[in-house]
Structure 1
Amino acid sequence: MRIIGGQFRGLHLAPVGEGDAKAHLRPTSDRVREAIFNLLINGGYGDPITGARVLDLFAGTGALGLEAISRGAARAAFVDDGAAARALLRRNIELTRTMGVTDVWRRDATRMGPNRGPGYGLVFLDPPYGKGLGEKALASCVEGGWIAPEAMILWEEGMAPVIPQGFERLDQRAYGDTVVTILRAGA
């Protein structure tokens, strides 16, 4: 697993190894991550990455948020409640030397609570597949004020998710057993 583009291009991230079944670590493959960023950059949505505040929910290794920072995002907040995931995430933040522009929060992404700062303009949502956690996390983020008006949400799931009210589906593509859906939040 490596960073695909930007200033950290080619940097290998900490190996997941055998993973932790209880932690549901299932890092986005390099191929799918490259496709995701190509969709964001070349999809006709302007530039949703440069200068963005990124919220990476069910962050795991942090590869999506760190890829965004590598490509010009201003800051990334990583949310994961798994100890194994947070250990890998912290190691990857050290490898990329992004301690000053990252936050790591031990939190259940389905119960975010109130946001005390500005909303996030780019949100990565990569929950364990088939458990309905993406819908719950998105609802929690809306309720807590985590999502900025017109934010882009990139949602990875094992099947096409039900799009919640207040969001517009911009694109949806399947890559093997992963369905990537791009949403835009309402104004």
Structure 2
Amino acid sequence: MNMRSKSSGGARPAASAPGVVRIIGGTWKRSKLAVAAAPGLRPTPDRVRETLFNWLGQDLSGLRCLDAFAGSGALGFEAASRGATEVLLIEQAPALVASLRDNATRLQASQITVQRGDALSLMRQRAGQAWDVVFLDPPFGDGQNEALFRDALKAARDLVSSNGLLYLEAPRVWTDAELAELGWRLLRQGRAGQVAFHLLGPQAPGG
């Protein structure tokens, strides 16, 4: 695919009650996603999602997308709303898994599959599946989750197709050198408050 013009340990206060995330574009624009309470849950802000889907393009028809550490599922549901034909949401917290499945059922989102389990393990099991877009938003852990981010970036490298894209949300900016070491090249980058977000592509062999 060519470039077109979370549920534990968050950088924000932990959720104390169920909440709502609103889909901002596509077929389900303005639809509400109910989200269960979960410590450290940090849904991707609306303005960050808007920027991301401006980068990806508003029409994701025919694309396969994987949302690891899905949390509220906002990124995966946004992709499905914009035409992605297959969306896999991976989440470990039981209450969030239940919310994701309830929302998919309510929206009759047959293209969405919710899988409960450890994101790193399931990503590694799916190595070589060549997804078009992978969304990666691991728990921030107050900035202490560097090893998790590196492991997740490594696992994602074997998931993305040769011309696919990876979205990374993190508590800090990842440098070109750090990303290159893990097989990625930086395409776009932005920051909103405590969130740094990146659009990455696979580094070409020998690049």
Structure 1 residue 117 displacement after superposition: 7.2
The separation in 2 between residues aligned to 1:117 and 1:97, in whole angstroms, is: 29
Other-structure match for 1:87? 98
Normalising by structure 2, we get a TM-score of 0.77
Any unmatched runs of 5+ in structure 2? 1-20
Number of residue pairs matched by the alignment: 175
Select which of 42, 50, 54 maps to 2:61.
Answer: 50
The separation in 2 between residues aligned to 1:110 and 1:26, in whole angstroms, is: 19
CA contact (8 A) 1:61 1:92 kept: no
Deviation track 1:86-128 (CA, whole Å, cap 9, x = no partner) reads 1221122123211x21221122122233327732110100111
The separation in 2 between residues aligned to 1:36 and 1:50, in whole angstroms, is: 16
Pairing 1:136–2:151 present: yes
C-alpha RMSD of the superposition = 2.0
Other-structure match for 1:171? 188
CA contact (8 A) 2:80 2:112 kept: no
SS in 2 for 1:110: helix
The separation in 1 between residues aligned to 2:196 and 2:135, in whole angstroms, is: 13
**Structure 1: which amino acid aligns with 2:49?**
R
CA contact (8 A) 2:63 2:132 kept: yes
**Structure 1: which amino acid aligns with 2:190?**
R
Structure 1 segment 4-153 matched on structure 2, within 5 A: 4-16=24-36, 19-21=37-39, 24-41=40-57, 49-98=60-109, 100-112=110-122, 113-115=124-126, 118-129=129-140, 130=143, 131-132=145-146, 133-142=148-157, 145-153=158-166
Identical aligned pairs, as a percentage?
37
Q: For the structure 1 residues 101 and 117, does the alpha-carbon distance in structure 2 shift closer, same or farther, using more than 3 Å as the test?
A: farther
Which has the larger Rg?
2
**Structure 1: which amino acid aligns with 2:38?**
D
Say which structure, 1 or 2, has more relative contact order (CA 8 Å, 6+ apart).
2
